[in-house]
Structure 1
């Protein structure tokens, strides 16, 4: 007799991430049911041993643990409610886990919706690409009832070895998803800008990758210190000051003009630096920008009365 019988799992949504999640469960021996609005995406998973449910209601009914990997909370609600009236009805007594984009408010609304149907709920996020799902160092974090998380932790850990429960506030995963994810596009834009500069000289973008990786490793190394400054509110012993970045604005613009590169995406960051200097942060650590970000910029007064017409 096996010591542990793998929990049956349903995966709703078979985009690239949903397919990776379902594949990891199949590989780990979990009876896996899949459903997607476009059924042809299920074929490779069925070939691996998944059961393709004919309806979303059937998919939900087949497993005590339902993983929804659709684009947003709204898409999950729409699929569960509009595909079949019975889909949401059969959620009672099951655990619904959402792995999608959205806001903390969306997570709270989703949790309330699930609770009203008698379902337990966890919100979560996969902090890696689909190809990394199932690997020992892949990070996923969840928020919601700790007892519910503990009940399914072994199953959820199939998706990534670095599986974390952030806390009982159900919107924490969405909050951290927004907070951590905020660095992605700016970092990629920085790399793309560098690639544009390099290729403008006839060099290959691949020649800068090793150096970019070392630079990102340096950034990673200084994050704890910057976080400590932010948490303490003491910015007076900078390794890199606001003024240092502020004074480089002109050089960046000159370099971009020389290479014919559009650097207009810098302007909002440059404006933050100008506001920081105006607020007295020139000699403070660059982490003092968080104080500027905490304050909405003042809007010019709106015309009043007949003159506004």
Structure 2
């Protein structure tokens, strides 16, 4: 079976993982890195310039730090007729401007987001999503699915992948801080952080199970039949202070959340679903 030749631009930890996955799947893979020789991908051809790497195949996957780094790296490359897939960090506006830049240079552009760590690249449940030129996605879907089995196209608006990256990724730091706080709490009592892992994982699974109900409440704008009310969370704030003060923890990161709860109660949302907080978040700061 003929495999589409792929070029990978950028060989950080994620870029190396992407290139290695293409090589393992039998795709002729050409790579380029800003610092020659700093990163090696066995089985891949290492180009001297980004322009040479781009010339090696029809599908170019850029995995650099941000959009400006991508456009800078590809400034001298001939993108005419190439399919450019950007898998870098950035914002929705960056995705839009990069799409315009790529299109003006004769490329078809697809933007994407990787929702996992480098070690998970190639796994059946690794999630990636894309937005932009549907013809690029349709033509190269099988090749892109090499990077993760949970691969989808969100729509023709090129900034949708980045929009979803921020919308989904917004849960990461708060969830990790919650775990770190719990780890600080139990280790202060001589227990291990590892002892929390099975219980926290079960808790996160419970949270996942209620997301469809909360999303439905938000989509309908109807919060009057709550499973968990804002008042329940609001009234637990003193307990947060008591437990963490007893352990001597710095939990200043709680205050913006507590303030949001106080404002929601003041607005008359005490007996409404916790999902009603979205109404306050929709207001400009």
Report the TM-score, using the length of structure 1 for normalisation: 0.91
Query: Structure 2 regions of 5+ residues with no counterpart?
Result: none
Distance in 2 (alpha carbons) for counterparts of 1:272 and 1:72: 32
1:163-199 deviations in whole A, cap 9, x for unaligned?
1000011100000001000000000000000000011
Q: Does 1:10 align with 2:7?
A: yes
Give 2:194's match in structure 1, choosing from 198, 202, 206: 206
Q: Does 1:58 align with 2:52?
A: yes
Any conservation in 1 of the 2:12–2:39 contact (CA below 8 Å)?
Answer: no
Distance in 1 (alpha carbons) for counterparts of 2:109 and 2:37: 29
Q: Does 1:71 align with 2:59?
A: no
Distance in 1 (alpha carbons) for counterparts of 2:193 and 2:277: 31
Corresponding position of 1:144: 132
Q: Give the count of matched residue pairs.
A: 285
Corresponding position of 2:171: 183
Query: Structure 1 regions of 5+ residues with no counterpart?
Result: 298-309
How big is the alpha-carbon RMSD for the aligned residues of Structure 1 and Structure 2?
A: 0.9
Any conservation in 2 of the 1:42–1:52 contact (CA below 8 Å)?
Answer: no
Equivalent residue runs for 1:192-203 within 5 Å? 192-203=180-191
Give 1:130's match in structure 2, choosing from 108, 118, 131: 118
Any conservation in 2 of the 1:12–1:36 contact (CA below 8 Å)?
Answer: yes
Query: 3-state SS of the aligned residue for 1:7?
Result: coil
Distance in 1 (alpha carbons) for counterparts of 2:227 and 2:38: 51
Query: 3-state SS of the aligned residue for 1:124?
Result: strand
1:204-235 deviations in whole A, cap 9, x for unaligned?
10011110000000000000000000000000
Corresponding position of 1:159: 147
Q: Does 1:273 align with 2:261?
A: yes
Ranges of 4+ aligned residues in structure 1 off by more than 3 Å: none
Distance in 1 (alpha carbons) for counterparts of 2:196 and 2:43: 43
Corresponding position of 2:36: 39
Corresponding position of 1:306: none
Query: 3-state SS of the aligned residue for 1:67?
Result: strand
Deviation, 1:25, is 0.1
Give 1:262's match in structure 2, choosing from 229, 250, 273: 250
Any conservation in 2 of the 1:121–1:144 contact (CA below 8 Å)?
Answer: yes
Distance in 2 (alpha carbons) for counterparts of 1:113 and 1:132: 31
Deviation, 1:55, is 0.6
Query: 3-state SS of the aligned residue for 1:163?
Result: strand
Give 1:95's match in structure 2, choosing from 83, 86, 104: 83
Query: 3-state SS of the aligned residue for 1:41?
Result: coil
Corresponding position of 1:301: none
Give 1:168's match in structure 2, choosing from 126, 133, 156: 156
Deviation, 1:137, is 1.2
Instruction: Say which one has the larger Rg.
Output: 1
1:244-301 deviations in whole A, cap 9, x for unaligned?
111111110111110000010001111111111111111000000000100124xxxx
Query: 3-state SS of the aligned residue for 1:26?
Result: helix
